[in-house]
Structures are given as C-alpha cells and as structure tokens.
Structure 1
C-alpha cells in the first residue's frame, strides 16, 4: 500500500514537473525568438501604414466629389490611428529597455525582451485584424441628394398679403385632408418665390420625408422634369424612354411615407402619371403643390382641391419695396 502511494506521488511529481517545464519552455521561447517577433511586427506595421495612406487618398478623392464617407471606414481609420499613437509607443519603451547592456541590467534585459516578444505578438494579431477589416470595396456612399437654392427667411418679403397666403398653404399641407394645392397669379407677382419659401419651411419643420421641386414651363419637357425631381431624391435615371423613367420615379416616390412635390409654372394640363408622380389612391402620402398663371388650369384641368391667389402688391407694399430696393 505504501509502495502504491509512493508510486502515485512520484507520478504526480513527474506530471507537475512536466507541466512546469512546458510552461518555462513556452516563456523562454518568447525571449529566444523576440527579434523574429519584432521584425514580423515591424513588417506588419509598414503594411498597415501603407493601407492607411491608401484609404486616406480614397477618402480625399471622395470628399472632393462631395461624397459621404462610410461610418465603418471612419471607425477603421480612428482605430488604426489609435494603434499607431498608443501601442507603438508602448513597444518602443519596452524595446529601449530590452536593448540595455551590462551584467547589472541582464535580468532587466531578459525580462524586457520577454515582455516585448509577447506584446508584439499581441499587436501582430491586432494589426492582422485591422488589415483584414480595411479591405473596403468603397470608402464612400453616393453623394447626398442635391438641393435647390431657396430664399432665406430674410430674403422672403413677408408682406401682409403674401404672409396670409403662405400661412394658408402651410396649414393646408399640415391638415392631411388636402393633397393637391394650387397657387395662381399673373407673371411676376412672386409665385415661385412663395413656393420656394414653402419648400424651405416644409424641410425645416420636417413636415415631409422629402420635398422636391421642378419647373414645368410653357412647353413641358417630361424628361427634364423627371431629372429635376430624381436629382433631389438622389435617384439616377438611366432608362431612355420617358415611360420607363416614369416607372422608376414612381417606385422611388412610393418608398416615401410623406413627400411634397412642387411643380412650378404650369400652363396646361400635365398628366402626373406620365411624369411618374403617384397620386390619389395610388399614394396618399404624396402631396402636390402647383403654381400657374391661370386658375382654370389648376381648378379644371389639374383638379386642385384648394387654390390660393397671389395678387399684385398693394400700393403701400409696393412703395415700401421700392424704397427698400432704392
């Protein structure tokens, strides 16, 4: 029995010694091959630096074209910069100690080499991960939708006659029961200026998911109207036929829960379906604001539910404007 116990103890001691030896060997390996680990680390860091510079050039090229940089690209750049800023400094400090000479510094030298070897091995893994994450197909998103030049609140003449019409239009857009509104008046009374102010205010108040505008003119060019609306939606129409383009524009507008489409300067009936504007039961979230010189066009040909008149300025308003301009 005693012999069995002695044998078991010997086996346990042997196993423990084996584990301890393996552990010591593993740690000593870090000291022996530390230079190889450092060289591998430096090589990987050069690769990461080259990759970072390449991505930065792509970013600068994208920004020159007014494109938006992807969030994951920005995060990757920050992580790489942090690695270079923080971790490389740590390695350099340990590396300086590992290079110390003399008998007194021998223990420190071995300890520093061990620490350096382990540290750079960890960093190589981090660098490899960043290199893998940095394989971007593209660093940017498509350019944000263009916007039209609108009047600022300061530029918009808030004459009493105009202010009331503006207020009535905004209320009609908000009530949710009217989705086809007309604004009419003779040439030069400020219809376009007024609807541009509606455009600006509707976007500022976030009344709609999208607000888009196109000029129709006396001889409507459907393709040109489609392009104006598509540009403001960030949509690229590549189809050649007007019908196919209308289909694409219609599907894009249906994706918006609430959208305001402003069509300026209508002279005669314009078929919204031909343009690609979903309306009525097809898309109740689509609101239309039209301007025309002729009330009959809005009321009888376009079936506008509400129409607001803009008349010439009253004498006092005209005189005040003249004095301001003079």
Structure 2
C-alpha cells in the first residue's frame, strides 16, 4: 500500500511540474506587464542605434563608389519595418490606457511586447555577428555602365587628348570644363571606365 501511495505521489509531482511551469509563465505576462513594455522600448532604442551605425558605414561605402552587400540592405529594410511596427504598438498601447483590472488586455499586450522584444533582440544580435563587412568593390562593368556614351568625332578628339594627359606622369591634374548640357558627365564616366580598364588608377570616384 505504501508503495502504491509513493508511486502516486511521484506521478502527481511530475504532473505538477509540467502544469505549474506553463501556468507560471503565462501568469508572468500579467505580473510583468510594465517591465515587458519598458524592455521593448529599450530594445527599440538599441536597434535604432545599431541601424544608425550600420547606415553610416553604408553611406561611407556609397560615397566611395562601393557596392552594398545584399544581406546588409535586407537587414536595414527589415529593421525599418520592425521599428515602425513596434513604435506603432507602443503608441497604441499608450492610447488604450489599459486598466489594472483588465487582465485579458494586459496579458495580450504584455505577451505581444515580450515577443516583439525577442525579435528585436535577435536583429541586434544579427547586426553584431553578421556584418563585419558591409560593402565590396564594384567591378569595372558594374561601376561604369556608360551605355549612353556616343563617340562623336569631336568628342573622340577630346577624349583622346585627355587620356594622353592622364597617361603622362608629369600631369597631376586634368580639368574638363564647358557649358551645361554638352555631355561632360558622360565624357567623365567614359574616361573613368577607360582609365580603370587600362589600370591607370585603382579607384575612381565620381
């Protein structure tokens, strides 16, 4: 009889472990309502700071005429969407003014805030672990696809003269000037394309 009672207590104890834990977890959403909302706001600010740091690196790489890695652009896009969604949730929660006695609303909002905070934390972790490098050097073809350039006879002579000057180590500067609308930008892009092709320069900034 004692053996049966002992086994019964053991079984009930195990059942209690598996039922109390989930109930306690769900109850935590009610007890830590404000804490979960505060944590969400903290995670949002940390994510915004991480986004700004990465965006600065992207802007610098863009100014250096480098290509931006696809996963970096995807992360920034997802972060912008996530921040907008989370801030909208925070604003809606503030406007709803949930009372202490409205247990169901507090539970739902607290649970959603906790879930959002977890997702945002993961985005922060991704930024730290994945993005040691945000950009790459563009190839000659992708950097200067000067499809609109047309080599007229007059432009051909100008281009030839500029290229000769650039090949001459005695020249440290070549200036292209003229009125607007005559094709200086396209000419400069074609010069850049040819100087890279001939390996006169390793980098060209437009």
Question: Would you tell me which structure has more helix in proportion to its own residues?
Answer: 2
Moved more, 121-130 or 71-80: 121-130
CA contact (8 A) 1:62 1:69 kept: yes
Q: Distance in 2 between matches of 1:41 and 1:18?
A: 30
The aligned residue for residue 83 of structure 1 is 82
Verify: 1:100 aligned to 2:95, yes or no: no
| Conserved 8 A contact 1:91-1:116 | no
Cα separation, partners in 2 of 1:130 and 1:17, compared to 1, 3 Å: closer
**CA separation of 1:52 and 1:232: change in aligned 2, threshold 3 A:** same
> Residues 1-326 of structure 1: matches in 2 within 5 Å?
8-9=7-8, 11-90=10-89, 92-93=91-92, 97=96, 99-101=97-99, 106=101, 109-135=102-128, 136-145=131-140, 147=144, 152=149, 231-232=196-197
In structure 1, C-alpha distance between the alignment counterparts of 2:145 and 2:18, rounded to whole Å: 74
Does the CA-based 8 Å contact 2:43-2:121 persist in structure 1? yes
How many positions carry a matched residue from both structures?
175
Q: Could you say what secondary structure the match of 1:100 adopts?
A: coil
Secondary structure of the residue aligned to 2:65 is: coil
SS at match of 1:68: strand
CA change 1:11–1:96 in 2 (3 A) is farther
Once the two structures are TM-superposed, the CA of residue 139 in structure 1 deviates from its matched residue by 3.3
* Contiguous gaps of at least 5 residues in structure 2: 172-191
For structure 1, list consecutive stretches of 5 or more residues without a partner in the other structure: 158-187, 197-213, 239-326
Cα 1:233/1:125, change in 2 over 3 Å: farther
Show CA shifts across 1:255-299 (max 9, x none).
xxxxxxxxxxxxxxxxxxxxxxxxxxxxxxxxxxxxxxxxxxxxx
Looking at structure 2, the residues matched to 234 and 134 of structure 1 have their Cα atoms a distance apart, in angstroms, of 36
Q: Distance in 1 between matches of 2:133 and 2:14?
A: 55
Looking at structure 1, the residues matched to 13 and 98 of structure 2 have their Cα atoms a distance apart, in angstroms, of 38
User: Structure 1 pair 141/54, CA: closer, same or farther in 2 (3 Å)?
Assistant: same
SS at match of 1:134: helix
Which secondary structure does the structure 2 equivalent of 1:79 belong to? helix
Q: TM-score, normalised by structure 1?
A: 0.41
Return the index of the structure with the highest Cα Rg: 1
Higher RCO structure, 1 or 2 (CA under 8 Å, sep 6+): 2
- Looking at secondary structure, tell me which structure has more strand per residue: 1
Distance 1:75 1:5, change over 3 A: same
In structure 2, distance between residues paired with 1:69 and 1:152 = 26
Over 3 Å counting, the alpha-carbon distance change for 1:16 and 1:151 in structure 2 is closer
